[in-house]
Amino acid sequence: MKKILLLSIMFAAGVTHAANLTKLPTPVEQGGMIHVNVVFQDILSGTFIITPDAGTPTLKPITLWSPGDNFLPGDPWYTALSPDEQGLLFNSQYGFLIDSDASDFPPSGNSIGIRMLSATPGLEANFYRSSEPKAFTAIFEPSHDYVLWNGNMWHPVFTANAPGNYEATFEFFLADAAAGSAVDFTTQASPVPGYSTGTVTLYFTAIPEPAVSVLLVAGLGTLLWRGRRR
């Protein structure tokens, strides 16, 4: 019985520490990309049409995305996503994408601004880069609630601090400055006068980390019950 108990404890303690991952699971590994298709038509006052693909991403902890694994200490997302730290639930399936077949690209010197108008408390979006220099930076902050985007595919990593249903509403506008990179969340810009804007609301569900301790207690209870029978 002591051997069984020891193995149970070793199993529970080792569930989240089998391997150190050097990057997040990709959107494909999370279940597939969900495109947020953006059409910009530069006709007269301009028009934005935003159409998300069907599907609702599920934000989960790494213990569910990749059971038994953890993130590499020192990587910029370790503190937020590691079960040893904040252990936030995350998902990056939503991919912002210009519908090139139906769109005009912004005029030279301009870019597309994406502003977060509102979000369920606890939901955040992060800029993520897995190649060097690695990055994991919160965006859509109160002091700078928009990014400048050049239209190339972009997958922000959304995080949540608790299970439940979440949503976020975004506004798209023609910005009076070019994006300094594919996604620029530092350059200051304003909407170009005379152009319309478009909005979209994205939806998420979030599920919690499995309760290893509860499973362990259940296992111990079973062992004690068997011991009493003996």
pLDDT of residue 31: 97
Cβ count near 71 (within 10 Å): 24
Domain spans of the chain, in order of start: 19-209
pLDDT of residue 41: 87
* Residue showing tokens 């408390």: 121
Cβ count near 3 (within 10 Å): 7
pLDDT of residue 214: 44
- The residue ranges of DSSP E strands in 120-160, in sequence order, are 123-129, 135-139, 146-149, 157-160
Q: Is 112 exposed, middle or buried (0-12, 13-18, 19+ CB in 10 A)?
A: buried
Backbone angles phi, psi at 99, to 5 degrees: -80, 95
pLDDT of residue 46: 79
The CA-based angle 210-135-60, given to 5 degrees, is 15
Q: What is the pLDDT along the chain (230 residues), one digit of tens a residue?
A: 444 444 444 444 444 447 899 999 999 999 999 999 999 987 666 789 999 999 999 999 999 999 999 999 999 999 999 999 999 999 999 999 999 888 888 888 999 999 999 999 999 999 999 999 999 999 999 889 999 999 999 999 999 999 999 999 999 999 999 999 999 999 999 999 989 999 999 999 999 977 644 444 444 445 444 555 54
